[in-house]
Structure 1
Amino acid sequence: MATFTERMGPVLLFWLGLCLSGTWAVDKGNFKTCDQSAFCKRQRAITPGESPYRALLETMELTNTKLTLQLINDNNKVRLLLELYRLQGNITRVKINELKPLKPRYEVPDVLIREPPTEPLSLLSQDENGVVLSLGAESQRVIVSARPFRLDIVEGRDVLMSLNSRGLLGFEHLRMRKDTFSYKVTSTVASVWDNIKRVFSSQADPEADNKEATDPPSQVETTKEEEEKVEDGMWEETFKSHTDSKPNGPSAVSLDFSLPGVEHVYGIPEHADTLKLKTTDSGDPYRLYNLDVFQYELYNPMALYGSVPVMLAHNAQRTTGIFWLNAAETWVDISSNTAGKTVFGKMLDYVQGSSETPQTDVRWISESGIIDVFLMLGPTPREVFSQYASLTGTQAFPPLASLGYHQCRWNYNDQEDVRAVDAGFDEHDIPYDFIWLDIEHTDGKRYFTWDPHKFASPKEMLQGLMDKKRKMVAIVDPHIKVDTNYKIHNEIRSRGFYIKNKDGADYEGWCWPGSAGYPDFTRPDMRAWWAGQFAYDQYEGSMENLYTWNDMNEPSVFNGPEVTMHKDALHGSWEHRDMHNLYGFYVQMATAQGLIERSGGVERPFVLTRAVFAGSQRLGAVWTGDNAAEWDHLKISIPMCLSLGLVGISFCGADVGGFFKSPSSELLVRWYQTGAYQPFFRAHAHLDTPRREPWLFGPENTALIREAVRQRYTFLPYWYQLFYHAYQTGEPVMRPLWVEYPQDPATFALDDEFLLGRDLLVHPVTEEGARGVTAYLPGKDEVWFDIHTFQKHNGVQNLYIPVTMSSIPVFQRGGSIIPRKLRVRRSSACMEDDPYTLYVALDNRRTAEGELYIDDGHTFNFEKREFIHRKFSFTNNVLSSVNLEPDAQFTTKSWVERIIILGASKPSKITLRTADDQENQLEFDFDASMSVLTIRKPGMNAGADWTMTLQ
């Protein structure tokens, strides 16, 4: 049998040499630190408390919806333009750009779902020191201090957030390079202009240099002070063997935010780190720069595949958020102190409270673009989710089948291998919905093709899956093999759709096919063309049950700097540096659009992506990349997915079993048990690992894995309802406990357990050899029921739970009703018409409520209100089902075959009354030892109104 390297050839040898250092571990030397990133080092060197920026209050213009105000840097006299908007939903937007840039600076398109609607601003007061504006809601005000410039958002007597309170605003203006002819000419003009100013300005007017008439013709002068500060990396930067030309010179932006009263901040994924973000005073900032990191290291701030520049701040009184809309390389510094720093003199009628008030300070640093930041002011977690969703959209509503189990590896060898694996699931009675094909299924890494020998009859293979109501995912990556015999390449080249290098030729790099071009997905015409390639008459061998996986879309360039694209590559007139973190977003956008169009707009797509940005939630699912078969990688999957959920991306999962290395049977079982309760549930493995289909680890482990997967399928109705809710509201499916218990400090740093919606609490077993786990059960007046034993536990306690290898600690909240389907079949589609069992968990007031959502599971017809959405309620010993959407229309064959009430008392009789006023007496069993009432075969249609009375 050929070795791994023999099979993969010289491209892989090259990449392994680049990315690995003798073991399956990341070579951190291939990726920059802040000190090695020139703009980060420059901005981080800014001294706090010495801001050169002043607000020129005489330039202020205030309309009903917008404040504009010029800022001046007293060191170089460059002016900036500040724009402030009050947006609907308790959001404040602040934009800062150069007043007169040499050329336009990049502003991120396509991420916002619309131009955000505004609300009125009004002036409250103004003097020589600043202005105070009313933000309307709940006595909110914004205070703009002039010298130095500072912006504070205040509600009542509380400072919610301060901007530039530490004086770390930095805005590198565009300028001409000093050793070019154009610079010398422009500098001469500027010098003459300076002489004119000195002659005509009044020495008696200390503010004379602030007047509009004193501006030079354009902001290109470099003062003597600046010339002395020119450093390596401003106009050209070298890292390892790669040189980054910087034709526009230094263009970084940075701004600090202070959060009084806050000790816990979250978000800014993707990092393999704890849920609560750490302070970065003694190390590197968190980095946001989409990179292909081959088996990433845990618990550090290194960049990974995705970059979502959104941070949430939380304390027991309030939740707020910061959305930094910039797609360039970004670093985020976090520091914490306990000093109360905010005093406003006569503009405020109070002094900020105790000096013991905790405070978190955050600084954002981006390489280029502008400052465009949305301050989401909550005050509750749900309102922050809603505010962010109003800007970037909600989680795409996925096809029901995609919430089932996915079986993948790099690679299933051929059609016979696919058939055998598919049959293995049936033989071992394990359900699954999708089988996946990695890059080896193609004809020589040419995407949209099939290997003519190993996958000679793809439609036959897909039809075989369809006959079992199963589906397939095939990979389509954005690097295109440079081959004149390859139709895709020829068309992209002939249409001029490739990204260009700095000299204007097509950019080429190395990836899986060898020499590859990279389509410019930032172009709408390129995306439209790409979408068209998924049409059934273009993508030969594809069928309606074939879906898509976008990998390597950071983009990954094996021979590029940091295994990605050169920053001076060109997307039209823009440099890649300006939009790097958007590339994967656009790839997934074009692919999802292709899957929609191929069905004539009828079918919902399923597209998995590795690289993400803000707004990626609208497009599909994400996974956490190239993890390893190690216990710590299992543990980190929880905070990684929780962090993504907090910034809108609910459809998250990690490779079950670990991509690299080979898991022990214990680790594999525990990973299946964890993955079964995470939103995206896929097993995946590296090409060079032994096969690990669920039945290859002995009958006992097969049984444990089978049970975990079957538990997933019983909860599919609940998963589907949660995703519908996420689609409607932006609330995360998988969420930290503090989202539901925001006033309980014991929940603020927890990231080894989580909630699914409000009603399921999951504490996976992630320790090797564990004999027990301790789960925190929140809620002072809550009760929680073990879903396996029905044992009842009170909230606000650390509960020790003995575990065996079959244990998956999961609890249902008292006060909830969860519908499940207990007849598990080979795929989700096979269960479509199967009956429901309602699990009614009573709270201490003996009440409960829940929901059931049903539609066809795969089309956009729900947008035409073709669905069932019902509310279940239990109160005063009456259980009822009512229609939440009377104008929606859909029918189902499913019915309710069982109701299990936890925490119940024994009734004397149970009467069912249906919508047509028919009454029936129902049979039941009561377990007095566990207070569990089971009502058998009530038989109501799942879409019908009914009431059930316990007497």
Structure 2
Amino acid sequence: DCFPWPGVTRSACEARGCIYTSGDPNQCTFDDGVGTSSNIFYHAEHFFLQVFDTSLGGLVFSDQFIQISTYLNSANLYGFGEHEHHSFKHDMNFVHWPMWAHDETVQTGVNLYGHHPVYMNVEETLDAHMVLILNSNAAEVVTMPAPGLTYRTTGGLLDIYFFLGPQPELAVQQYVSTVGLPMMVPYWSLGYQLCSVGYTTINESKSAVDRMREYDIPHDVHYGDINYMMEYRGFTIDPVNYAGLAEYVEHLKEEGTRFFIIVHPVIWNAGEPGEYLPYERGTEMDIWIKDSQGSYQNGSGWPGSVFFADFTNPKTEEWWGDECVLFKEELDYSGLWINWNEPHSFSLPEPCANNSLNQPIFVPGIIEKGLTFKTICMDNQQYMGKHYDVHSLYGWSMAKQTLPVARRVENNEKRGIVFSRSTFPGAGAWNQHWLGYNEATWEDMRWSIIGIMEFNMFGFPYVGADICGLYEETSAQLCQRWHQLGAFYSLARNHNGGNLPPQDPGYFGEEVAEVIRDVLHIRYTLLPYLYTLMYNAHITGAPVIKPLMFEFDDDAVTLDIDDQFMLGPALLISPVLEENTTSIRAYIPDSRWFSYYDVRRTPSNFDNIANFTQLEAPLDFIPLHVRGGHVLPTQRPANTTVTSRNNPLGLIAALDDAGEARGSLFWDDGEELGSQCCLSV
């Protein structure tokens, strides 16, 4: 365990069997007996840039511990996940970031639901490259002021991929094209979505919908969270609290609102024979994860005692698909929200065995209570191998089997949609993502921008945070401001926790509802532009929501900006992120800019001059600017995409200094799988 940590002494270093060298910082290195290091260079415009230099610490490779260190070309480091990062650019002062799929409330310093061992380094020249260290075992990365980083993992292999850009966005496209281009989402999924754990009865769900209709607020997707189930058992409907759900879903669909359901990979196993057929059919097919002795691993979930479906087993897709098809006959849902797929377990009936898999000598930093905390034993057996090696692939494997199922329930005629809590490189080909269990705070709203930009970099362009916050009671002002921001997430969903007051837009009354309706109308006006961006992401891997540094890659100031973002190449979003604030300090990159609202040129004090400026932002307003040189396709908004897609299309043409502008439009039926009839201009 050799690396240059702050304040290291000779005695502490040598006690670890390492070699001490004084310096700034002091070095504590591993003697590999070879005396050489690996260095990777690439040629860029008549000079060589070093992208990987292991002379910082070399390589340690053993059965359950692998460590590799590298110098970085600069301190401009981005990526690694999934975490709540408080800045898009990493702090290089010996910060530990563990990576291991884990169910946890969103908070800093903790390994969250996904596992993404990939980073971007923007070099001193402002060229950029990305590096993927493809390994699914528990890992951590430690930043160092050298600048450099150390990567450690509990085993497996190291497949290291380099994506040489040289532009930041081009490096992202190279990475995403390699691991898997993202699925194409249906048009209606870009509409506004409403969900709450607090809908304990169907009447509470209906009341929220009624308020949406009362205030004429767009509403394309409504949700069944865990309360629609009978005692939280998958593929069931509560016959008392949600009586009449199937008929209500049909009613919503007639109004143009689709219904999404949450599904878990944990299946209740404590019923009497014939009581719960999904469990019995899965047992007949032998698709449950097994313990080290070959018996099914028991766990604890919302339904009580549960088994865990093994999605690395090819037979599981047949069982999973059969259950989803049968349930589709009972309830006409339109999308699948897969959750608890780290996988999560409240507890286990017996402690995991004391062996080298469940209690390895090395455990990455900050992972609470070891690798088995809130999940199953590492010596469990899956079709693909020991859970120790494939734990962080559980969400990936579930997604891989769920998208075909989402299409199967639509007779393979519609493209389907799946989004997931747990992710891994390449999973974007089958599902997209929401940022998990956040809180109703101004800080969480701000940090959501960072998470969304990171997941676009990871290959998940359809992504959003729970608007207004999931946990804790929100306020009218926070919810209003969060909607102004969330209207420009690619996944715009208001999601509320249980035992809390409602937070649907209509709950706060007419004044707030009108502001939210107006900003959602802007979103719906721009849906043709957003849909075109999603298509471009699907075929090229380009991000949809991106940091300013991706578009203005010759401007070093943008490397540190993470409280504004670009929606595609043409729209600058500058949200208000603090309470009781009616003006913001925003960075305006060097370009020609127009106000979205009146299509007038911006003031000359920041037109074509990159600088910070103060923008007025009263409570009913979010600053939006259109970049010169671009054409944005638009459409007259409506309260559902079923209606809006029949409205007239339009264009916003913002000319550059040469009097020119370019744009594109992709247009098809919006949901058919492999649509042959489309317009691309």
TM-score in terms of structure 1 length: 0.64
2:425 to 591, 614, 619: 614
Query: Do the aligned partners of 2:215 and 2:510 also contact (CA within 8 Å) in 1?
Result: no
**How far apart are the structure 2 equivalents of 1:805 and 1:797?**
24
Residue 516 (structure 1) aligns with: 306
Residue 259 (structure 2) aligns with: 472
Query: Do the aligned partners of 2:328 and 2:409 also contact (CA within 8 Å) in 1?
Result: no
After superposition, the C-alpha distances for 1:159-179 in whole angstroms (9 at most, x for unaligned) are 322342223311113xxxxxx
Alignment of 1:653-692 (within 5 A): 653-692=464-503
After superposition, the C-alpha distances for 1:820-870 in whole angstroms (9 at most, x for unaligned) are 112x222011111210121111111111111111100001233x3x21011
**How far apart are the structure 2 equivalents of 1:171 and 1:532?**
44
Residue 648 (structure 1) aligns with: 459
Asked if residue 334 in structure 1 is aligned to residue 122 in structure 2, the reply is no
1:423 to 202, 210, 220: 210
Moved more, 461-470 or 676-685: 461-470
Residue 273 (structure 1) aligns with: 85
Change beyond 3 A, Cα 1:277–1:803: closer
Q: Which runs of 5+ in 1 are unaligned?
A: 1-40, 54-73, 75-145, 174-250, 338-359, 871-951
Q: Percent identity at matched positions?
A: 27
Shift of 1:720: 0.3
Alignment of 1:809-888 (within 5 A): 809-822=623-636, 824-862=637-675, 864=676, 866-870=677-681
Shift of 1:636: 0.5
2:293 to 503, 515, 530: 503
Moved more, 484-493 or 272-281: 272-281
Query: Do the aligned partners of 1:785 and 1:813 also contact (CA within 8 Å) in 2?
Result: yes
**How far apart are the structure 1 equivalents of 2:66 and 2:62?**
6
Alignment of 1:880-899 (within 5 A): none
1:301 to 109, 116, 121: 109
Alignment of 1:355-366 (within 5 A): 360-366=147-153
Change beyond 3 A, Cα 1:45–1:147: closer
Query: Do the aligned partners of 1:402 and 1:433 also contact (CA within 8 Å) in 2?
Result: yes
Q: Which amino acid in 2 is paired with 1:541?
A: E
**How far apart are the structure 2 equivalents of 1:301 and 1:525?**
38
Asked if residue 787 in structure 1 is aligned to residue 596 in structure 2, the reply is yes
Moved more, 402-411 or 587-596: 587-596
Asked if residue 159 in structure 1 is aligned to residue 75 in structure 2, the reply is no
Query: Do the aligned partners of 1:717 and 1:852 also contact (CA within 8 Å) in 2?
Result: yes
After superposition, the C-alpha distances for 1:2-54 in whole angstroms (9 at most, x for unaligned) are xxxxxxxxxxxxxxxxxxxxxxxxxxxxxxxxxxxxxxx9999965574443x
Query: Do the aligned partners of 1:322 and 1:373 also contact (CA within 8 Å) in 2?
Result: yes
Rg comparison, structure with higher value: 1
Asked if residue 558 in structure 1 is aligned to residue 359 in structure 2, the reply is no
Residue 193 (structure 2) aligns with: 406
Which secondary structure does the structure 2 equivalent of 1:268 belong to?
Answer: strand
**How far apart are the structure 1 equivalents of 2:500 and 2:163?**
45
Residue 550 (structure 2) aligns with: 739
**How far apart are the structure 2 equivalents of 1:651 and 1:528?**
27
Which secondary structure does the structure 2 equivalent of 1:727 belong to?
Answer: helix
Q: Which amino acid in 2 is paired with 1:304?
A: L
Asked if residue 372 in structure 1 is aligned to residue 159 in structure 2, the reply is yes
After superposition, the C-alpha distances for 1:386-433 in whole angstroms (9 at most, x for unaligned) are 321232122211000100100000042334444443333222110110
Q: Give the RMSD, CA atoms, in angstroms.
A: 2.1
- Higher RCO (CA-CA < 8 Å; seq separation 6+): 2
After superposition, the C-alpha distances for 1:254-290 in whole angstroms (9 at most, x for unaligned) are 2122222x2211111211113434345444x111111
Alignment of 1:591-606 (within 5 A): 591-606=402-417
Q: How many residue pairs were aligned?
A: 628
1:806 to 603, 620, 634: 620
Q: Which amino acid in 1 is paired with 2:90?
A: K
Shift of 1:572: 3.9
Asked if residue 252 in structure 1 is aligned to residue 47 in structure 2, the reply is no
Q: Which amino acid in 2 is paired with 1:553?
A: N
Shift of 1:317: 3.4
Residue 569 (structure 1) aligns with: 380
Residue 334 (structure 2) aligns with: 546
Query: Do the aligned partners of 1:717 and 1:821 also contact (CA within 8 Å) in 2?
Result: yes
Alignment of 1:3-152 (within 5 A): 50-53=29-32, 74=33, 147-152=35-40
Query: Do the aligned partners of 1:275 and 1:640 also contact (CA within 8 Å) in 2?
Result: no
Q: Which amino acid in 1 is paired with 2:306?
A: A
Residue 192 (structure 1) aligns with: none
Query: Do the aligned partners of 1:43 and 1:254 also contact (CA within 8 Å) in 2?
Result: no
Change beyond 3 A, Cα 1:42–1:611: farther
After superposition, the C-alpha distances for 1:507-553 in whole angstroms (9 at most, x for unaligned) are 11111111111111111221232123222x4544132x432111111
**How far apart are the structure 2 equivalents of 1:264 and 1:700?**
43
Query: Do the aligned partners of 2:128 and 2:166 also contact (CA within 8 Å) in 1?
Result: yes
**How far apart are the structure 2 equivalents of 1:613 and 1:547?**
21
**How far apart are the structure 1 equivalents of 2:15 and 2:279?**
41
Shift of 1:336: 2.5
Change beyond 3 A, Cα 1:310–1:43: farther
Q: Which amino acid in 2 is paired with 1:816?
A: H
**How far apart are the structure 1 equivalents of 2:464 and 2:511?**
26
Query: Do the aligned partners of 1:264 and 1:276 also contact (CA within 8 Å) in 2?
Result: no
**How far apart are the structure 2 equivalents of 1:394 and 1:688?**
39
Q: Which amino acid in 2 is paired with 1:377?
A: L
Which secondary structure does the structure 2 equivalent of 1:837 belong to?
Answer: strand
Shift of 1:625: 0.8
Residue 492 (structure 1) aligns with: 282
Residue 169 (structure 1) aligns with: 59
Change beyond 3 A, Cα 1:674–1:502: same
Shift of 1:809: 0.8
Residue 721 (structure 1) aligns with: 532
Query: Do the aligned partners of 2:260 and 2:337 also contact (CA within 8 Å) in 1?
Result: yes
Residue 288 (structure 1) aligns with: 99
**How far apart are the structure 2 equivalents of 1:804 and 1:149?**
57
Alignment of 1:634-645 (within 5 A): 634-645=445-456
Query: Do the aligned partners of 2:39 and 2:50 also contact (CA within 8 Å) in 1?
Result: no
Which secondary structure does the structure 1 equivalent of 2:396 belong to?
Answer: helix
Change beyond 3 A, Cα 1:279–1:635: closer
Moved more, 494-503 or 428-437: 494-503
Q: Which amino acid in 1 is paired with 2:376?
A: M
Moved more, 490-499 or 506-515: 490-499
Query: Do the aligned partners of 1:462 and 1:546 also contact (CA within 8 Å) in 2?
Result: no
Asked if residue 526 in structure 1 is aligned to residue 306 in structure 2, the reply is no
Which secondary structure does the structure 1 equivalent of 2:618 belong to?
Answer: coil
1:385 to 172, 177, 185: 172
Q: Which amino acid in 1 is paired with 2:468?
A: G
Change beyond 3 A, Cα 1:43–1:728: farther
Which secondary structure does the structure 2 equivalent of 1:534 belong to?
Answer: helix
**How far apart are the structure 1 equivalents of 2:75 and 2:503?**
43
**How far apart are the structure 1 equivalents of 2:14 and 2:220?**
51
Which secondary structure does the structure 1 equivalent of 2:499 belong to?
Answer: coil
Which secondary structure does the structure 1 equivalent of 2:496 belong to?
Answer: coil
TM-score in terms of structure 2 length: 0.89
Change beyond 3 A, Cα 1:46–1:546: farther
Query: Do the aligned partners of 2:572 and 2:626 also contact (CA within 8 Å) in 1?
Result: yes
